[in-house]
Structure 1
Amino acid sequence: MKEHKITGLSCGHCALRLQEQIQQLPGGEEAKVQFNSSKIVLDEKMDMKAVRSILSLENVRFESDGEPTGPNWLMIGLYVSVASFIAALGAEWVMKTAYLPILLYAVATITSGYPTFMKGLRNLTKFKFDINTLMTVALIGAVAIGEWKEAALVAILFGINELLESYGMEKARRSMETLLKVAPKEALLLQDGNTETISIEELKVDDVVLVKTGQKIPSDGIVVYGKSSVNEAAITGESLPVEKEKGETVFGGSINNEGVLHVKITKTYNQSALSKILALVQEAQESKTPTELFINRFANYYTPIIMVISALVILVPPLLLNASWTEWLYQGLAVLIVGCPCALILSSPIAILSGITVNARNGILIKGGAYLEQLGKIEIIAFDKTGTLTLGEPHVVAEVAFHPDFYKVAYAIEKSSSHPLAKAVIAKCSEIGTEEIEADEITTVSGQGITAIVNGETYRIGNEKMIGEDQADENVKKVISSLKEEGNTIVLVASENEILGVFAIADEIRTESPAIVRDLHRKGVRETVMLTGDHPAVAEKVAKRTGVSAFFGGLLPEEKVEKVKSLKASGKVAMIGDGINDAPALATADLGIAMGKGTDSAIETADIVLMQDHLGKLPDAVQVSRKVNRIIKWNIGLSLGLKLLALLLTIPGWLTLWIAILSDMGATILVTLISLTVLLHNRK
């Protein structure tokens, strides 16, 4: 299957109809016409001439075919139509004869309404009823009863309406396309001191590339030479540059701000974080939300119902009330025009596409419109603790020394260990500048700590099980108890005879976490809950400092799942974790949100990915999604409300063809403009 860019596609129903016709061609069973992204996916063996012929029925063409030769006849037709209509109005005012005005109105109707008329006739022969069918019947009826002026005005307004629809979708598409253009195209390959320009598709793992100032890094890799600041906004949405030097990881699509970097490629481009992000964003454009699916189903019934109502308006008053056939035929034709579902169909896709674009621009990857809509309905957010509300990096928060050798013994034993708690102890000892001595015969005791020989004496470092209570006097026990009550992990250092001191270690809370939790509550999230496997005392400490509504500590992965299930009983639940350890809970929640800063596991897990390594953009994503949901509801209410108001005008017989088309046109303009306001969210 191959993807092709198409132009001229401005109608959602048209896209579905084109897809159905192309799928009937040999080899076209899997063909897809994607309205939101204006693309078509075809089998490479298909008859492209036949596909072009079908697309031409809706004035759609392949972008690769280039601009059509000659002028834009549709636009010229609209200009001629407007000029003819104005001339006809002038002729009516100046001349007594009706022939010239009728001729000019006919020219206006034909030049503007010809494309719609031809589509409508084709649909009538196949008993397919859509907007073109309704407009064709209305135009034929108006001409039949001598309403030339009304027919011309309807044709002109409908033409303008179609242009506005096209403009709205193209504006949203262009915003998305601008976002997708961040992908690099070429790379400078370094070989034997020389450089060669190659396409990123030719890059292989272990290739070394040269990245000059202002250039994009072609794919994920590791810096092997140079030092620079790198703009990672394409991946994380963060505008502040990140300092990079030898040995550090860089992402494809990020920009080298200054200096020169040599980057060793660790992933081919199609396996890079940026490639996966862009692929998922493109897929997200075409995923349908429950609201969109409902609107599409509703529109299928809505148009035939309108035709039945129109027939009743035409027939009932003359047959039962002896009213004028001409008058009620006119009213019935106006009802047909009111039945055009343009604004209703546009009420959702522009807003959804805009919402996905804005969030992607901020480094928030939403894998489909359904998840965007769901985020706007979330009432409860459950957080994993480690790496989410906290940094996931233990550090020493307090230490008490009972012996002068406390620090140097601790440093001597721990400096050879890679355990997270050991790293915290090493960092603290390095910070105070302890004396460096060597440890021998280092032995790890699983689940407890380490023993070693330092200066000929045996020392132990570890938890209380490692040290034993017999060595702790009342003062030491009191200190340990006090530090534990504060929710800290205890690391003791002891000789064979006495305890030298104690480290209190805790996971550092992210500085932004309390503000994020408060902001989420302000944005309408009713409850925030922390779920963690850590000790309840640790959980309580973090919960108090971050301000979450509730917390549950000491949970196994399966117990987290049960907690998420119980939370779902009282509202829509989103679970936030790292995308690996919390996968079961993420899958159980109504919405799974992973933190990852571009890691494969985060991108592939959950429904939404925060590409930063913090929660800073989450409240903004919630606000955008709620705004999108509000706009969709407003759009649906507005489009149906204006049509209902127009239909009510049939009761006193006040509905005219031009009022009918203006009600549809007005709704379309408002729906489009309101939806596009999403793109202005936090725009700088």
Structure 2
Amino acid sequence: MLGTYSSPFYCTIMDTVPTLESPAHASARLYEAFDTQKLPVIFTVLCLISVITSVVSESYGVHPYAVLALNILSYVFGGWYGIQEAVQSAREKKINVDMLMILSAIGAATVNQWHEGATLLFLFSLSNVLQTYAMDRSRNAIKALLKLRPNEATVRRNGKEERIPIGDLIIDDIIIIIPGENIAADGVIVSGSSAINQASITGESVPVDKEAGDAVYAATINGSGVLEVRVTRLATDSTLSRIIQMVETAQHQRARTQYLLETFESYYAIGVILFTVGLIFIPWLVLGHEFYASFYTAMVILVVASPCALIISTPASILSAIANGARKGILFKGGAYVERMAEVKAIAFDKTGTLTQGRMKLTDVYVGKHNPENVTESSLLALSAALEGRSEHPIAKAVVAEANERKILIPDMTNFVSLPGRGVHAKAEGYLTFIGGYRMFEEHGEIIPADLMQAKERFEKEGKTVLIIHRELGRSGDKGIHEDDGGWLGCIAVADVVREDAVIAIAELKRNGIVATIMLTGDNPTVAANIAKQTGIDEVYANLLPEQKVEVLRTLQKKYGVVAMVGDGVNDAPALATASVGIAMGAAGTDVAMETADIVLMGETLMNISYAVNLSKRARKIVWQNILFSLSVIVILVSAALGFSMPLPFGVVGHEGSTLIVVANGLRLLRHR
């Protein structure tokens, strides 16, 4: 059955993406689209009209040649695509379902059962049209995203604003996005701020706040602000276009089960033909049955034994699963990875940027007991922010960001000196002040007060990085560190923040049958153990180099079997390639991640991993439901044909009906939540 309408069934989604092309090319594409989408419907209707007209004409005594002409016409319309596929299969020395259907119809005509043969072809054609329509729903779920991309954009060139087609945009154009407008191209905000609905890309419906310097994507929706965006990708190379192209490619890649069934189809079809030939001649020549009765029964068997429903049982489900995932921002690179994800027993996570947000945040401010009386938590944070204000280190940025968030006035400072790997010092509020790790003070032989050391050790046990603040009272001109009365002001602690959904996501994975969750990180064991404790991770491997992560993954595969690896797709490329299933997270706009991983999560939520596992397992369940149902129907129909002389039309209805039921069952995955 797949062969009859293989062209519309597997038509590319990218055919719907607007591109600049010549009129001749556009006309050819229009004809091709009409041919693959409209002609099968028209031919099916004409086949029905021909069949009805033939039956009515015969009942009214119309000349036999006229009736014959109508019958031949119904065969042409009903078998047009099937004949093409059968001929192509014959050239390739293959036998498929289409050939079985055509042979059945020809066989019916041979014994002068034209009407039944025409009815067979009509129902076969109708079934394929309905099947194609149903499967189009999987593609339409993705093609609908294209409607979110505007056809025109407002661009500023030479000081003037004008509306132009998005195909005319070039790199570095400045486009103007008004409130509520869909963004026309991938780019970077150069002016303005707004909340952007990125559901079309990431699958996450909560708008994301964006400001100058942040990336935006075509087909996402601007909120209440006016934005000026510098174009970084052409329309044909946008993140949305690449998503659609990836999904289209994935839908063409066969799942393992589908490959096995299609391989089985050729041998099975040969077996059906040989069995049919045996049913024609053995009862006639050996048992003395009438040739007509033997031939008719054989034709019924040829129809009902055809594995149409069996062959489509896998793609109907897998394509729907791929489409469903894409709407959620989960891109499966092929049907094989849908099946493989359903088999995953353990999942390994990179720490930074995966289990954590990948950005430092100030978590604690401790005011030491041996400090001037006027030092408070706010003034200590202000002083720390002043010292860290010129540094580009992530820890420094976290300190400054916290001070700004609390709207604390940051004092000026002078004589800034950076001590790489240790800290910084500068003159602030008239005093030489130091901020840095314990190592900086230890190297100078300083004795840190007991309360400060206790706070430091407590924070470090929690997996945090600690910075100590020391001021040289009365020694503002020195650059050395001296233990002055009241000089130890306190300390601050920063940490890479665990994702808000990490705990829930890990628990959900375990509920979905994942037997082990593992962390692979290059960070130290203390920090790693703390993150694992917070998130519910089962096993921790710390202080790992990239090549060591690969070795650990191989060990995990021996222990658990199918192991998935979740990372950012850039720094974890070797590990993602080694894992049974590589999953790149937060990959919107990242070419490397899209190329490296087997499954790409466009958004930043860990819950999508659990969703992918659940979706894959349900897809596998429905595939096996379809396979068992298809085989059962074949057994029942063949038994009815052999034991109860089932008429050909009944066999056709049962055969085609089972195919439509299988397709409908697979399409249920589009509604999976």
TM-score w.r.t. the length of structure 1 is 0.83
Quick one: distance in 2 between partners of 1:83 and 1:179? Answer: 44
Q: CA RMSD in A?
A: 3.6
For structure 1, which segment, 597-606 or 295-304, has the greater mean C-alpha deviation from structure 2 after superposition? 597-606
Q: Which residues in structure 2 correspond to 1:36-435 (within 5 Å)? A: 36-37=11-12, 62-63=32-33, 72=42, 74-82=44-52, 110-116=72-78, 123=86, 129-145=95-111, 147=113, 150-258=116-224, 260-402=226-368, 403-404=371-372, 405=375, 406-430=380-404
| Residue 45 of structure 1: aligned partner | none
Rounded Cα–Cα distance in structure 2 between residues aligned with 1:74 and 1:183:
35
Secondary structure of 1:255's counterpart equals coil
- SS of 1:444 mapped into structure 2: strand
Which residue matches 2:462? 486
Query: For the residues of structure 2 that align with 1:308 and 1:149, how far apart are their CA atoms?
Result: 25
Q: Does the 8 Å contact 1:36/1:349 carry over to 2? A: no
- Once the two structures are overlaid, the 10-residue window that deviates more, 341-350 or 535-544, is 341-350
Q: Deviations over 1:425-468 (max 9, x none)?
A: 33445566666444443332222222334456544322221111
Of 399, 415, 425, 1:451 maps to 425
CA contact (8 A) 2:44 2:126 kept: no
Q: Distance in 1 between matches of 2:32 and 2:354?
A: 46
Gaps of 5+ in 1: 1-10, 19-32, 42-47
* 1:584 maps to 2:560: no
CA gap of 1:410–1:117, structure 2 versus 1, over 3 A, is: closer
Letter in 2 for 1:486: E
CA–CA distance in 2 between the matches of 1:308 and 1:186?
Answer: 61
The alignment status of 1:662 with 2:653, answered yes or no, reads: yes
CA contact (8 A) 1:461 1:467 kept: no
Q: 2:565 aligns with which of 567, 570, 575?
A: 575
Q: Residue deviations 1:150-185, cap 9 Å, x none?
A: 445434433332332232233333333223443433
Return the TM-score normalized by structure 2: 0.84
Retained in 1: the 8 A contact 2:14–2:244?
Answer: no
Question: Cα 1:102–1:530, aligned 2, differ >3 Å: closer, same or farther?
Answer: farther
1:35 aligns with 2:26: no
Contact 1:442 1:453 survives alignment (8 Å): yes
> Is this contact kept in 2: 1:77–1:111, CA < 8 A?
yes
Residue 425 of structure 2 is aligned to residue 463 of structure 1: no
The yes-or-no answer on 1:564 pairing with 2:538 is no
TM superposition shift of 1:240: 2.6
8 Å Cα contact 2:5/2:128 also seen in 1: no
CA distance in 2, matches of 1:394, 1:38: 41
Residue of structure 2 aligned with 1:629, choices 620, 627, 636 = 620
AA of the residue aligned to 1:421: I
The residue number in structure 2 matching 1:540 is 529
Partner of 2:477: none
Q: Describe the shift of the 1:161–1:65 C-alpha distance in structure 2 as closer, same or farther (beyond 3 A).
A: closer
- Aligned length in residues: 635
**Post-superposition offset of 1:147:** 4.7
Instruction: Determine helix, strand or coil for the equivalent of 1:493.
Output: strand
Measured in 1, the distance between the counterparts of 2:519 and 2:63 equals 75
Q: With a CA cutoff of 8 Å and minimum separation of 6, indicate the structure with the bigger relative contact order.
A: 2
**Other structure's SS at 2:241 match:** helix
In the alignment, is residue 602 of structure 1 matched against residue 593 of structure 2? yes
**Equivalent position of 1:21 in the other structure:** none
Q: Which amino acid aligns with 1:483?
A: F
Displacement of 1:633: 2.0
How far off its partner does 1:105 sit? 8.9
CA distance in structure 2 between the aligned counterparts of 1:160 and 1:432, rounded to whole angstroms: 68
Q: Note closer, same or farther for the CA distance 1:427–1:594 as it changes in structure 2 (3 Å cut).
A: same
Alignment of 1:512-531 (within 5 A): 512-531=501-520
Deviations 1:555-603 (A, max 9, x none): 2222221221112121211111111111111111111111225232333
Q: Indicate the percent of aligned positions where both proteins have the same amino acid.
A: 33
SS at match of 1:568: helix
Shift in CA distance, 261/487, structure 1 to aligned 2, threshold 3 Å: closer
Q: Distance in 1 between matches of 2:177 and 2:402?
A: 38
After TM superposition, the structure 1 stretch with the greater mean CA deviation from structure 2, 420-429 or 648-657, is 648-657
Give the counterpart letter for 1:630 in structure 2: K
Report if the CA contact (8 A) 1:596-1:603 is conserved.
no
| Matching residue's letter, 2:566 | I
Offset of 1:213 from its aligned partner? 3.8
2:603 to 612, 619, 631: 612
Residue pair 2:189, 2:211 contacting (<8 A) in 1 also = yes
**8 Å CA contact retained: 1:471, 1:499:** no
Amino acid at match of 2:624: K
Q: Is the 8 A contact 1:388 1:614 kept in 2?
A: no
Corresponding residue number in structure 2 for 1:509: 498
